[in-house]
Amino acid sequence: MVMSVILLAPSWATMINGIMTVSDAWQKLRTDPALKFIVLSLAFYGLATFEGPMMAFPSVNVVSHFTDWTIGHVHSGALGWNAMITYGTFYFMVPRLVGSTLYSVRLANLHFWMALAGTMLYIVAMWGAGVSQGLLWLSVDEIGELSFSFRDVMSSMTPFYALRLIAGLIFLTGTAAMAYNLYMTVVGRSTVTVNIPAVDPAYGVGR
Ligand code: HEM
């Protein structure tokens, strides 16, 4: 638990450093989809690395362990941080690889909102499911027997899992929109040729 709380410091230092790096270019966030995704990914990184140490507290972990809360935490990292930073990198690199501009900035903006909505809905659904499961599993009757069976608990999960399905479909559709956008950006073009700069022979490269 102590190490997890200590981990908050380097994680948040990274997030704050990343967000402050773009603080001079806020107006670019309106027009540059790559930057939007990268800043959003940093925000989710902050969320996941705040939630993680909290989940390491025994009093929280006794509720969250073995529940969908952990799955929510995983996906605030996996979708919010890892997927978003990957999307931002693609939107930045792919047009440059072919020396062109992105096929559709509007479609990329739509993807941004779909990715944000999909991730938020997913996390909220799993928080709801996880906290419900944790509390139901911990409730015991007056003689100390479990008040709810595994079946009772799982059968009450339908609304949460339905919401997660919708969230996943929104997220997936956004990803498909990006794939189409990037395909239209590169189709019919060839990759730019980069001339490798001459290296001072004193470095002995290629010997
Ligand atoms: C300071 C940062 C973080 C801390 C201290 C932390 C801590 C935790 C804790 C306490 C759990 C629950 C363990 C359990 O009850 O079984 C967990 C689960 C998990 N976390 Fe994090 N987390 C952090 C950030 C992240 C990030 C950024 C990601 C993803 C990119 C991530 C991915 C996962 C995964 C995949 C699991 C599920 C492991 C499993 O059950 O197999 N975590 N984390």
pTM confidence score:
0.89
* pLDDT tens readout for residues 143-160: 999 999 999 999 999 999
Checking if the pLDDT of 207 tops 70, the result is no
For the chain, the distance separating the N- and C-terminal CA atoms, rounded to the nearest angstrom, is: 52
Give residue 193's pLDDT.
85
Fold of 2-189: Cytochrome C Oxidase; Chain A (1.20.210)
* Residue ranges around ligand 1 (CB below 6 Å): 4, 7-8, 11, 48-49, 52-53, 55-56, 61, 64-65, 70, 73-74, 77-78, 81-82
**If you search the block for the tokens 């290296």, which residue do you land on?**
199
Q: Give the residue extent of every domain in the chain.
A: 2-189
* pLDDT tens readout for residues 39-71: 999 999 999 999 999 999 999 999 999 999 999
Give residue 169's pLDDT.
98
Nearest-atom number in ligand 1 for the CA of 45 is 27
For a ligand 1 pocket test, name from 1, 2, 44, 55 the mutation site with the most ligand atoms within 8 angstroms of its C-beta.
Answer: 55
